[in-house]
């Protein structure tokens, strides 16, 4: 047992986190039963746990929440981010300090524990999450197995072997696991207080979104700015995309190693770059756009996961507070001539955005569809739509 187990102890542990180095952390089991092997990261957000756990970019990961009280507002059917919930895209495990309490929010449809069971997410509570976070910061994001057994019976040696045998996220293409199975058209617009989500009625332009694990709120924001959004699977070819006659191309977020996904995605992106169409990428889409332009990506030590990350936009000089979720990053030193760095993390100086000089092509590493600032980065969607409107000879929308 590790000293990460909470100081008050676990009398009869019903869940374990077993790291590849042999560390065993005992806790109380929540959510689904069984076991799952994945990479352990930590997220520093105070709110938005449901959106975090359903973000397809977290596929292949176990999320440690640094905020101690998770679950207080319950769960509902509106705050889900994965496009195809049946695919169980998102985190496979969750780690909390405190036990889940009864929900106390008017939007709650169920408690978090029940929701985790339905989603198939294994959870563990009752440990010192600050100590686990410190361990990740020191040694990096570890491969691990999270296991939940209500009877408290575990084959620890086997769990250790599973954790040690897993190859990890480097070289792993997970976009193919979370992408849509077929093309579809998105109509839902952003949520409005006491009204819920709206329905698009009269789109003025057409965006094709390549789905590497797209989040719903990205699609809502595009639709809310007048775009008919056609969502296509990750392996859709450039000819098929162009046959849809888009006014712009969106490259979505997603999980896994961008170099692995890029084996089939980068050639398509390069073909799309040969057109004059505006292109906008987020997260994995940003990384693969960089690869298509000749840059490199690299695995990060602890990654960026949270909703309190300061990023500077060099094009405006402004600093915005953004949501982050990535374990790979673009190597800024590898950016070729003609590609400028537009955004940078003020935490560690890592690259957070690029643009192609003289072309309507740009991307960002962070998640501008989220609301940590609360809407510091929403201007990026207007920037993309304005590039489309400019190409069509239409007046620009105000970037607010």
Which residues are part of the catalytic machinery?
A: 283, 367, 369
Instruction: With CA atoms as reference, report the closest residue to 294 among 271, 265, 270.
Output: 270
Angle, CA of 291, 297 and 298, to the nearest 5°: 165
Q: What is the 3-state secondary structure (H, E, C) of 174-214?
A: CHHHHCCCCCEEECEEEEECCCEEEECCCCCEEEEEEECCC
Phi/psi at 237 (5° precision): -80, 160
Q: Please tell me the distance from the alpha carbon of residue 91 to that of residue 184, in angstroms, as a whole number.
A: 24
Instruction: With CA atoms as reference, report the closest residue to 18 among 162, 168, 165, 166.
Output: 162
Q: Please tell me the distance from the alpha carbon of residue 283 to that of residue 38, in angstroms, as a whole number.
A: 20
Q: How far is CA 208 from CA 52, 222, 246, 273, 316, in A?
A: 25, 11, 6, 14, 27
Contact between 260 and 172 (Cβ < 8 Å):
yes
Residue with tokens 């990740």: 136
């Amino acid at each position: 047992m590790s000293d990460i187990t909470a100081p008050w102890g676990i009398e009869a542990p019903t869940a374990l986190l077993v790291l590849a180095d042999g560390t065993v952390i005992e806790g109380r089991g929540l959510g689904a039963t069984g076991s799952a092997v994945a990479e352990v990261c930590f997220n520093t957000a105070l709110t938005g746990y449901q959106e975090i756990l359903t973000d397809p970019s977290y596929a292949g990961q176990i999320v440690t929440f640094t905020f101690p009280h998770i679950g207080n507002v319950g769960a509902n059917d509106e705050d889900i981010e994965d496009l195809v919930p049946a695919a169980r895209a998102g985190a496979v495990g969750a780690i909390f300090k405190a036990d889940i309490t009864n929900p106390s929010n008017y939007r709650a449809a169920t408690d978090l524990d029940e929701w985790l069971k339905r989603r198939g997410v294994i959870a563990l509570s009752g440990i010192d999450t600050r100590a686990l976070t410190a361990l990740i910061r020191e040694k990096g994001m570890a491969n691990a197995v999270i296991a939940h057994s209500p009877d408290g019976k575990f084959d620890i040696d086997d769990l250790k072997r599973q954790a040690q045998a897993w190859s990890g996220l480097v070289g792993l293409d997970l976009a193919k696991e979370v992408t849509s199975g077929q093309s579809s058209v998105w109509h839902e617009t952003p949520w409005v207080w006491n009204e819920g989500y709206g329905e698009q009625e009269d789109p003025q332009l057409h965006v094709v979104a390549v789905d590497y694990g797209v989040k719903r709120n990205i699609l809502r924001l595009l639709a809310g700015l007048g775009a008919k959004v056609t969502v296509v699977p990750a392996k859709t070819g450039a000819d098929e995309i162009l046959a849809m006659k888009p006014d712009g191309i969106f490259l979505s977020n997603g999980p896994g190693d961008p170099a692995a996904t890029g084996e089939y995605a980068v050639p398509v992106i390069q073909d799309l770059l040969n057109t004059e169409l505006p292109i906008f990428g987020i997260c994995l889409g940003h990384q693969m756009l960089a690869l298509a332009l000749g840059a490199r990506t690299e695995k990060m030590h602890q990654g960026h996961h949270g909703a309190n990350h300061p990023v500077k936009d060099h094009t405006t000089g402004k600093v915005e507070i953004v949501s982050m979720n990535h374990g790979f990053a673009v190597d800024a030193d590898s950016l070729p001539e003609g590609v400028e760095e537009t955004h940078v993390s003020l935490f560690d100086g890592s690259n957070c955005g690029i643009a192609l000089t003289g072309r309507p092509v740009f991307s960002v590493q962070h998640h501008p569809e989220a609301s940590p600032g609360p809407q510091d980065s929403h201007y990026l969607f207007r920037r993309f739509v304005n590039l489309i409107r400019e190409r069509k000879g239409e007046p620009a929308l105000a970037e607010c």
